Structure 1
């Protein structure tokens, strides 16, 4: 958040009541913020940014006042989000955003800054070279207040609380994430979130704003608090517009459980064209741009050069899909290349699944797919390279685990939770990962976690909550019992896997191949035994027990046990998990006994790798 003195100075320049009588189509920006990083004007990023800004106003006004999208790729990719106040007409919305799009890159605003945000009375426009969709920003932004105090003799904020708190409670569940009300007696107010947020994150953002309101603005006749994720405003006089009825936004309906056929012939033909991108196909129909990201292709010769012809020295590891190699492109960019094993039917299906899914997903805690290649019977996926490999390499190594102090472990847990929440609730698809485990959590330069390997993921329809499969594929020790035994999977299956992972991160111990003096068959059994006997402290990894906040570590264990409860209905959703992880004051229910089960392994590739489980007796 900007410096308090700056905020005060900014608002002190406003004459009393000036903002109260702002006309709805006024084009005066309230405030703007720019990043310190800059770009050269004659670059691809600037071209992409111009295209992005030119499209936001019309798209947002046609979509009930909200739109977010990206243009470009790699370091030249531009992300943009536009939001209009929920009571604005389509005309006023587009007019405000047109003004914002032209204003934000002016010399006195953000002329060559790589990210920026500008607020108006009626709209907000935000762009960046970094992915920010679905990420709640509670603190950044600014606030303003009317310099005149209320004349109410008693508690000046009683009526304000009665008006604003119900709005803040109601807005997150509304289609537009907007709520407004008021009267001449109690004043007028509105609250609003950007619609890329989950319900839980909207609640979190609005809750933080309302907490700060009484600190800064008690007894004021008007105030507002704005950030890139949400805003709240109260005035003693009416300022809201009164449209007849806000149009309903139809809920996004993700496609059926993935049933895709990627036409190899069409991909190969695309490689021979002058286009640098290919369009994926679903049921032999091309997926339009507003439904899926187009995926850049790369020729086999470039990959062979980058990986030294798939040299064993470049090999990073191997999974059910096939081997993974490190490569270096001509420009010095490091990549990771997944190479489909020859004659692997399972790998072919995973390849199709991963390309279709990950091309549509973007989040800072998901690994990024850069290129795809199908040439000379080679099927290749090219990802951003993660220099710190995967979480299991550090977590289960007695030497490397020292590098995972409590702060890093906490950051990894929260990052995984946010990535999973995005998959379950906030992406354009509703995705069940089905193979969440330590080796599928990659770590970047700063040890930030990235969920990877979507070959086994499945998508749900809008109202679908669970599905069955006759082919149970996953990793022993991470699979929920209802999935391992009955083939039933849902978002709660992923929650179970997350709970196992959370307990492993806090304890530094594997759930599989677990054995402490034969006291327990698994980490879950052991954790439950100690927790039930009030010995939870013994679960914390000895390497961090003397330096971590004990109450916080025990809270994480508590949350982990809630996630691995035997009955899926008892497990929390990921939105609730994120809320519990982020709030030390949220009351946690007592966990019930976790699931203890043993699957019959019929095929495996060793270690904790993918396998099938025979559900028959």
Structure 2
């Protein structure tokens, strides 16, 4: 099924800089290490990536795709809250609206807790491909996920039920099919009576052939519904697949899943059934592949070096590096090493999605911040030149100043002005430090960040979307003035472009719902992220762990929206601000934040308008509409803490499933290309 969002900005590096390939071609041991690392990582990822058996999208579309998307994201988050605890979950989002979305997820009982979460993450990434269809379901090797515009939790069979007989067949005549038919019948008779509606079994056909089978119903069914579902699944497998001697078949119904195979799919990888020999064969293939690829790359690198001067694009890259080396932006690698005490952990200021930042002191006494990019990312060259190019083109009092970079050493380094008060999150979410953020400082931080974003969106030389606005990317100088940092994920686009279709990048909890679902990037995504930061600043609460810290198990967004509707918003004002500002001032900030996080991107005000709202109190603000993610609720105080904290991990755990990077909380997620 084709992806609904293209990824034009996510392309492999085709023409790396000169210094990179020169070093590759001259270091065979290092090259072997890189390729072994790459293949072992790929093998590890493949082993944890569940196969997709079938995706079924509804034939009718929702009348309001934008509104439906918001409730879809909310419903999937709530399914996760439950599936993390028990392996099964249902949900409903927007029950009082005409865009209600129901969700249902089930992990098969043979999966471990971790593999269940990984399977859910894979299904959650792929299921949005069905949108804007009003229903959709997906069956994976280990789990099932469904959404619909009606309650489907009691459905055992329906018109979308399907089966797959596969392409392989049994050897040795009809005997295997007959015995398999008996095995499937036994599972059908037993599974609906078992706890968890789950049953597995195997039958030995011969010394070299064993058939394994499993059956499972969703826990939302009663026993009679489970029985009806399994009987239809059995009829499809026995009546459609086994007469043709299919040796691996699956029945996929609304309320259950049944499979038989000559492969022990429900057993651990190192269990019986020939798993060890298959792994030996895999490693043999990997070893041969590594050898071939290494030789090919060495030959390719040599050939590239021969043709380097004849390739205009490579020559352009070389020219960029030469021009940087000769400009005021260039720093010597050895000088930066010495300035940071060889990147000592004592000088480490923090870490983001694409690098670590260290404090350094130059020989002339200037204090700097050195960003050391991670080498083991496929997009490292793109990220480096993206940040150098973009931030060197923009100059604003509320943007961190780029002093230069190092391009000739063994790794890429960026050099920024050093800001002594580090980042906003170090103060805002620290019980002892946040008293330093009085009302005036917090207001100035909100205003300064808004002015910096307004400049990026409308006033800079190029139109820039930051993509990762959050408290940890707002740095503070010695007077606590805000400066936006970390442009590694930023993107620019032409004036005539309405949006960019791009891979998912940013930090979960700050990402707009339409961007999560569709991957379509506009300034509105930055505005949503900014709104989250404003609400965090005024409440002193972190959006990402607000469920676990709430006595009722409500998210920060839900708490704010409930108090807004009850005219009690002032109760959520950070206690450190009580008596430090007027009620009118506080409510105005709440109002601006809610306008920025509205579910509909079209309703969010542009950043220049936000600046106007903050500085001009005379104009009456429009009423905000409902934000997304307001119905997420934990189950109890213990499980709530675990599930709310890890929900962002599992939302982004596609790092094990996609060829990008993902991380949690303060680390950015970047998913450039789905499998």
Q: Taking structure 1 as the reference length, what is the TM-score of the superposition?
A: 0.53
1:264 match: 17
CA distance in 2, matches of 1:360, 1:559: 30
Counterpart of 2:407 in 1: which secondary structure? strand
Measure how far apart 1:546 and its partner are: 1.2
Secondary structure of 2:524 counterpart: helix
Distance in 2, Cα, partners of 1:262 & 1:388: 39
User: Residues 577 and 472 (structure 1 numbering): CA distance in 2 closer, same or farther, change over 3 Å?
Assistant: same
Alignment partner of 1:607 is 2:669: no
Q: Deviations over 1:79-105 (max 9, x none)?
A: xxxxxxxxxxxxxxxxxxxxxxxxxxx
What is the rounded CA distance, in whole Å, between the counterparts of 2:355 and 2:389 in structure 1? 18
For 2:479 and 2:472, the matched residues in 1 are separated by 17
> Aligned runs of 1:430-445 on 2, under 5 Å?
430-445=463-478
Give distance in 2, aligned partners of 1:614 and 1:461.
21
Q: Quote the offset at 1:428 in angstroms.
A: 0.3
Following superposition, the deviation at residue 580 of structure 1 comes to 0.6
- CA 1:267 to 1:528, structure 2 compared with 1: closer, same or farther past 3 Å? same
* Corresponding residue number in structure 2 for 1:403: 436
2:227 — aligned with what? Answer: none
Q: 1:318 to 1:517 in 2, by over 3 A?
A: closer
Q: Could you list the per-position Cα deviations for residues 322-357 of structure 1 after superposition, in whole angstroms to 9, with x for gaps in the alignment?
A: 221110000110000011123222333321211111
Is residue 258–residue 353 contact of structure 1 (8 Å, CA) maintained in 2?
Answer: no
2-structure distance, mates of 1:610, 1:386: 21
Which of structure 1's runs of 4+ aligned residues deviate more than 4 A? Answer: 256-263, 266-269, 280-287, 612-617
Match of 1:542 in 2: 575
Query: In 2, are the aligned partners of 1:440 and 1:453 still within 8 Å (CA)?
Result: yes
Cα offset for 1:258? 10
Residues 347-393 of structure 1: CA deviation (Å, up to 9, x unaligned): 33321211111110100000011011023321000100010000000
Give the alignment of 1:440-459 within 5 angstroms.
440-459=473-492
Map 1:469-480 onto structure 2 (within 5 A): 469=502, 471-480=503-512
Q: Distance in 1 between matches of 2:512 and 2:428?
A: 22
1: CA distance between counterparts of 2:471 and 2:459? Answer: 23
Partners of 2:594 and 2:443 lie apart in 1 by 16
389-398 or 339-348: bigger deviation:
339-348
Distance 1:554 1:506, change over 3 A: same
Q: Is the 8 A contact 2:17 2:314 kept in 1?
A: no
- Within 2, Cα distance between the matches of 1:451 and 1:416? 7
SS of 1:339's equivalent in the other structure is: strand
Q: Is the 8 A contact 2:469 2:510 kept in 1?
A: yes
**Structure 1 CA distance, aligned partners of 2:595 and 2:376?**
42
- 8 A Cα contact 1:262 1:352, kept in partner: no
Offset at residue 520 of structure 1 (A): 4.8
Distance 1:464 1:521 in 2: 38
The answer (yes or no) to whether the contact 1:389–1:442 under 8 Å persists in 2 is yes
- Name which of 498, 511, 524 aligns with 2:543: 511
Q: Deviations over 1:225-245 (max 9, x none)?
A: xxxxxxxxxxxxxxxxxxxxx
SS of the counterpart of 2:614? helix
Structure 1 residues 198-209: aligned runs within 5 Å: none
Where does residue 493 of structure 1 map in the other structure?
525
Paired with 1:560 and 1:281, the residues of 2 have a C-alpha distance of: 46
Matched position secondary structure for 2:349 = strand
Equivalent residue number for residue 562 of structure 1: 595
The structure having more radius of gyration, on CA atoms, is: 2
- CA–CA distance in structure 2, aligned partners of residues 265 and 420 of structure 1: 35
Segment of structure 1 superposing worse, 548-557 or 390-399: 548-557
TM-superposed CA distance for 1:266, in Å, is 8.2
Conserved 8 A contact 1:297-1:371: yes
Kindly tell me: are residues 283 and 299 of structure 1, through their superposed partners in 2, closer, same or farther at Cα, counting changes over 3 Å? closer
* Counterpart in the other structure of 1:361: 394
Change (3 A) 1:281 1:410: farther
Equivalent position of 1:54 in the other structure: none
Q: Matched residues in 2 for 1:409 and 1:539: separation?
A: 16
Name the residue aligned to 1:594. 627
CA distance in 2, matches of 1:320, 1:569: 29
Higher RCO (CA 8 Å, separation ≥ 6 residues): 2
Is the partner of 1:547 in helix, strand or coil? coil
Partners of 2:316 and 2:619 lie apart in 1 by 46
Contact kept, 8 Å, 2:18 with 2:318, in 1: the verdict is no
Structure 2 unaligned segments of length 5 or more: list them. Answer: 1-7, 23-312, 321-325, 631-646, 656-661
- Aligned counterpart, 1:92: none
2:417 is the counterpart of 1:384: yes
**Residues 561 and 616 of structure 1, relative CA distance in 2, 3 Å threshold:** farther
Task: Say which structure is richer in helix.
Answer: 2
Given that residues 352 and 666 in structure 2 are in contact (C-alpha distance below 8 angstroms), is that contact kept between their aligned partners in structure 1? no
SS in 1 for 2:368: strand
Q: What 5-or-longer segments of structure 1 have no aligned partner?
A: 1-255, 270-279, 288-292
Q: CA deviation at 1:431?
A: 0.2
RMSD: 3.1
Does the alignment pair 1:576 with 2:605? no
1:422 partnered with 2:455: yes
Q: How does 1:154-303 map to 2 (within 5 A)?
A: 264-265=17-18, 296-303=329-336
Offset of residue 281 of structure 1: 10
Give 1:612 shift: 4.4
1:425-484 superposed Cα distances (whole Å, 9 cap, x missing partner)? 000000000000000000011111100001111101012221212x20210110000111
After TM superposition, give the deviation of residue 502 of structure 1 in Å: 0.4
Partner residue, 1:310 = 343
Q: Note closer, same or farther for the CA distance 1:306–1:525 as it changes in structure 2 (3 Å cut).
A: same
User: How far apart, in 2, do the equivalents of 1:530 and 1:615 lie?
Assistant: 40
SS in 2 for 1:524: helix
Change (3 A) 1:360 1:267: farther
Question: 2:358 matched to which residue of 1?
Answer: 325
Aligned partners of 1:478 and 1:500 also within 8 Å: yes
From the superposition, tell whether residues 331 and 615 of structure 1 become closer, same or farther in structure 2 (CA, over 3 Å): closer
For these two proteins, the number of residue pairs brought into alignment is 347
From 391, 394, 401, the equivalent of 2:427 is: 394
SS in structure 2 at match of 1:336: strand
How much does 1:553 deviate?
Answer: 1.2
Matches within 5 A, 1:36-75: none
- In the alignment, the residues of structure 1 paired with residue 18 and residue 465 of structure 2 have an alpha-carbon distance, to the nearest angstrom, of 30
8 Å CA contact 1:421, 1:575 repeated in 2: yes
CA distance in 2, matches of 1:615, 1:593: 32
Pick the aligned partner of 1:340 from 373, 395, 411.
373
CA distance in 1, matches of 2:9, 2:378: 19
